[in-house]
């Protein structure tokens, strides 16, 4: 008896990009929640180590599939080093901030990264930013201040760390923009992950290793690297199949997922101020991406991948 052929639904290229971005944002939210959970019992150094070390073997497999070590050759080793130092600083500050403050508050502050990047692109990349994008930058910073609320004493070390992480993410995005002109994506990712593994190993040795006792803790530490690597791959895939202007709003679904998971696990309920400030930051970020996309149609520029991921 002949069975009917199984039809595989066709997914348009743009639809594939949107689906990949939605999955990436969800996985990043899972990783952020896991990092916050682990932050109560394990030092940031150990979490950073697992984030990079677990992902490294998978990258070796990808390198082998793409032709071997020759694709890792670089003409900009110092830029790679700078990107790694700044990116790892962002990761460390971000992970520590997660352990010290409400998850949704920290994520809302991190949304400032594309806004800071737009401001820094003028002195560092010599790019022209029109009055509309400058206005969006100022409005976005207003939204960040609403979230941080410095007059109420909320502006503590954790909030400062999250804001510093956003600034480091912005610098990392600028360096990635420079590297993307001559380097392959796998090369940028591989050298950053390798540097993170080495840096994490040294930091753990100095800071002290906390041996996980429960199997669940081992699973969660390993999942930080696996889930983070999968999310990074999906986000990269999404930008191959859909335009930045379409994908940009989807990245901000992170505030929904992190708020939901933080409420489910810790009972965290962000105050109205955070939702208002996050809404302003998100609107400003989307407008900036929209304007940069329009500029790129006239004057091609490699657009950064939204808020820098760690």
Residue spans per domain, the chain: 14-209+237-298
Q: Give pLDDT tens digits for 121-139.
A: 777 767 777 788 888 888 8
What residues contact residue 55 under an 8 Å CB cut-off, 6+ apart? 193, 225, 226, 228, 229, 232
Report pLDDT for 297.
Answer: 56
Give the HSE-up count for residue 217: Cα atoms under 13 Å, Cβ half-sphere: 12
- Res 2 pLDDT > 70: no
Q: Give pLDDT tens digits for 195-242.
A: 999 999 999 999 999 999 899 999 999 999 999 888 888 887 787 777
Q: What DSSP string runs through 111-123?
A: TTHHHHHHHHHHH
Is the distance from CB of 52 to CB of 196 less than 8 angstroms? yes
Tokens of 206: 């100095």
Report pLDDT for 32.
Answer: 94
Q: Give pLDDT tens digits for 143-161.
A: 888 887 665 554 578 888 9
Cα 231 to chain centroid distance, Å, stands at 9
Distance separating alpha carbons of residues 93 and 203, to the nearest angstrom = 14
């Amino acid at each position: 008896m002949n069975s009917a052929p199984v039809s595989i639904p066709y997914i348009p290229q743009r639809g594939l990009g949107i689906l990949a971005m939605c999955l990436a944002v969800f996985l990043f939210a899972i990783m952020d929640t896991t990092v916050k959970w682990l932050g109560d019992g394990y030092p940031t150094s150990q979490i950073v180590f697992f984030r990079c070390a677990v992902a490294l073997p998978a990258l070796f497999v990808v390198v082998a599939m793409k032709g071997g070590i020759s694709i890792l050759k670089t003409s900009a080793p110092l830029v790679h080093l700078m990107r790694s130092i700044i990116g790892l600083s962002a990761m460390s500050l971000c992970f520590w901030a997660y352990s010290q403050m409400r998850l949704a508050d920290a994520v809302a502050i991190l949304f400032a990264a594309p806004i800071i990047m737009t401001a820094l692109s003028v002195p560092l990349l010599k790019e022209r930013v029109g009055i509309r994008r400058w206005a969006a930058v100022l409005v976005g910073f207003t939204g960040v201040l609403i979230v941080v609320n410095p007059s109420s004493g909320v502006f503590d070390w954790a909030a400062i760390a999250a804001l510093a992480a956003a600034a480091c993410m912005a610098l990392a995005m600028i360096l990635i923009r420079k590297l993307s002109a001559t380097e392959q994506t796998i090369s940028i990712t591989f050298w950053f992950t390798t540097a993170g593994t080495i840096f994490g190993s040294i930091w753990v040795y100095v800071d002290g290793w906390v041996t996980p006792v429960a199997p669940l803790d081992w699973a969660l530490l390993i999942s930080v690297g696996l889930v983070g690597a999968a999310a990074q791959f999906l986000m990269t895939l999404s930008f191959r199949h859909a335009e930045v202007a379409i994908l940009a709003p989807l990245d901000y679904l992170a505030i929904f997922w992190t708020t939901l998971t933080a409420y489910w696990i810790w009972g965290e309920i962000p105050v109205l101020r955070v939702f208002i400030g996050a809404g302003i930051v998100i609107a400003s970020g989307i407008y900036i991406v929209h304007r940069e996309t329009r500029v790129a149609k006239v004057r091609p520029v490699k657009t950064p991948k939204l808020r820098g991921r760690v």
